[in-house]
A and B are shown apart, each in its own frame.
Chain A
């Protein structure tokens, strides 16, 4: 989390040195991302990939909006899907209204409707929930999510009951000959909004307001001494976060041409929390990584195992316990070592650690899948296939193999971990000696 101050002072110096090169350096990653977003559909052409990439784009906006609260301002919300779901509902109602009245609003502008809806509800709910911070705030966010979720069963006219509300995105005013009927065209709409939202959210972190958010996260009392009301800072961050969550929800509503109660359910709130944290809340790119990974895993894992949510949960617990900085944190941790040019020293022990890690993974997968075979899929009998090998789950030898795998993984970890930490220490000491700030 200390990266922001360090990079800030660095970029401050470069601005004085050469304004043009610093502007290029700031815009460079965004230009590259834009080029990548444009090029991706030509590399991954199939409809499945287009669908998954569209979902990733939506998840990125949602996770970034979530991290405005969790990572930047230190507010842990368990009900962020409320603004996502309401954004979807309002955009679907807005589209149906525009179709019915032939209002001249083109589809690409429609996500703003969702964003304004998200903002509006965040203004109301945020006023209530940001009165408290810390754990109480988290519990209130959960309560408000339940309130909205239950209300959807009462206000059936607006929420459409169990089925939800449908729409048709091709019937709106067309400015070009794109109808947005195909997933290919839809992908570009999502990619454009994803890029715009990401740029705006990144720019926000660079403003004095973004800095105050960080200050409120680190030490609300000191922020107060400087003359800012932490409650107001949290409230503004909450509202802005609701706005972008609404945009993400609107994109989802347009993409599925449907808004239903699942969109603001507890599962949706949980998924965005998982994705953001697995990616890493300490950096701006962390949630992007998490959103991409989690969307991909959701599609891929649900194809190969019935209990993919269990793997998901275990992965999340592992990240919380062993890598609280998330994926981005792990990468960031290695930056000074790479810059000092001593990353090579870590490689031998990393290669050694791969062996027990694979054994552990194999053992855990065997344990879970064999239990599932015997408990959930009782009717299919004990015959099963894992990694292409067929065997019977009710025989003792696969269980024995599983125990051996787990035991040897544990033993090897005990053997490797002292080497690993020694290599790590020496690499860091060398990096420090070469004048690289850790």
Chain B
């Protein structure tokens, strides 16, 4: 289950008949004969939370794509960098300064990357730009390993939020998760309001589609591009800072999350912000619900008395539980989407 280690993980305790659902370092117990409603409520909350976290990253990725026409392969690396910088600041000055300064620092790094890296590669075409960000992701993972090592770091939930907010039936829901939910929602609303309601947002939106016209009107388009790239990196870093204590902060976290982000932007439709939101929530809920169910084909059809030969592929498939296939669900969704709607949920861009 190496690949699933950063996701909520399900374990069934056969002795007591309970389920232990682990979300990173948080564990909570679900009584086997307990309420189905309880499971649905908790999974929905966790799924929306995971989905909003994904959207924090996917939104920056989509904005940068609309702007430059290039998908930033290193976007998940900014998320990882955010978590590690936040962890470092939390060691020196506590969690809260980390929440403020880590995104600013990572946003600054993002701006430097755009100004001195991406902008120079632009003349060589989109493939070169994508490859540049690919190389950057490679280098950033190595650098993080050099500075913070390969083992997970001990990034803790702040003491202020380290209590259970409420109890549904027998499940304690941690306050920190509610905090994550609140931050994600606030940023989502703020971003949406800024893009659609303010002058700055209008200029950015115009620069995405008609950069030359906006430049003729006297705006500094390269500066706008640099700022949007920085804000995108900063948003990913916020996701990293708030997810770091709840999930595992490790140098592999970018590699684990990156492919899921790209699935989201393809499923949502490349360049569509609302599509990214729907796809993020869809994948968040899908994975969280899958993880809390350990039903397999063998369980479903146990009445039939059918049992495949051991050590066959059919037997592997027969006995695999839904929780075990949770890591591949986003990719199955991608395949289905490509078969039935190749442009994505809300995309119309045929690139």
Taken together as a complex, chains A and B put the C-alpha atoms of A136 and B263 apart, in Å, by: 10
B143 touches A310 (CB 8 A): yes
**B146–A313 touching, CB < 8 Å:** no
Find out whether the CB atom of A128 lies under 8 angstroms from the CB atom of B128. Answer: no
Q: Does A385 touch B at the CB level, under 8 Å?
A: no
Q: Which residues of B contact A313 (CB under 8 A)?
A: 135, 138-139, 142
Residue of A whose beta carbon sits closest to that of B129 = A320
* A-contact 0/1 string along B117-143, CB 8 Å cutoff: 100110010111011101110110011
Find out whether the CB atom of B146 lies under 8 angstroms from the CB atom of A153: no
Does residue A144 face the partner (Cβ distance < 8 Å to B)? Answer: yes
Complex interface: chain B residues within 8 A of A201 (CB): none
* B121 close to A320 (CB less than 8 A): yes
Contacts of B270 in A (CB 8 A): 135-136
Number of interface residues of B (CB under 8 A): 55
A154 to B312 Cα, complex, angstroms? 12
Residues of B within 8 A of A (CB): 1-3, 65, 69-71, 117, 120-121, 124, 126-128, 130-132, 134-136, 138-139, 142-143, 145-147, 149, 255, 259, 262-263, 265-266, 270, 311-313, 315-317, 320, 324-325, 327-328, 330-332, 334-335, 338-339, 342, 351
Tell me if B320 and A128 are in contact (CB < 8 A). Answer: no
Are B146 and A147 touching (Cβ within 8 A)?
no
User: How many angstroms from the CA of A21 to the CA of B339 in the assembled complex?
Assistant: 51
Asked if A321 is an interface residue, CB under 8 A from chain B, the answer is yes
User: What is the distance, in angstroms, from A283's C-beta to the closest C-beta of chain B?
Assistant: 16
Q: What residues of B have a CB within 8 angstroms of the CB of A149 in the complex?
A: 3
Q: Closest residue to B309 on the A side, CB-wise?
A: A157
A320 touches B139 (CB 8 A): no
- CB < 8 Å neighbour of A310 from B146, B149, B328: B146
In the complex, residue of chain B having the shortest beta-carbon distance to the beta carbon of A76 = B127
A-B pairs with beta carbons under 8 Å apart, 29 shown: A76-B130, A78-B134, A128-B338, A131-B338, A131-B342, A132-B342, A132-B351, A134-B351, A135-B126, A136-B270, A139-B265, A142-B262, A143-B262, A143-B263, A143-B334, A144-B334, A147-B334, A154-B320, A156-B316, A157-B316, A270-B138, A274-B135, A277-B131, A309-B142, A313-B139, A316-B138, A320-B124, A375-B147, A376-B145
| Contact (Cβ within 8 A) A154 B138 | no
Q: Which A residues have a C-beta under 8 Å from some C-beta of B?
A: 70, 74, 76, 78, 128-129, 131-136, 138-140, 142-147, 149-151, 153-158, 266, 270, 273-274, 277, 307, 309-310, 312-314, 316-317, 320-321, 324, 368, 371-372, 375-376
Q: Is the CB of B3 within 8 A of A150?
A: yes
Contact B132 A317 (CB under 8 A): yes
Interface core residue of B2, B134, B312 (most chain A CB under 10 Å): B134
Chain B residue numbers with a CB within 8 Å of A145 are 259
Q: Cβ of B131 and Cβ of A140 under 8 Å apart? A: no
Residues of A within 8 A of B117 (CB): 317, 321
Neighbour of A154 across the interface among B145, B265, B325, CB < 8 A = B325
* In the A-B complex, the 9 residue pairs with the closest CB atoms: A147-B331, A313-B139, A310-B142, A313-B138, A317-B135, A139-B262, A150-B328, A134-B351, A316-B135
Query: Which residue of B is nearest A125, CB measured?
Result: B335
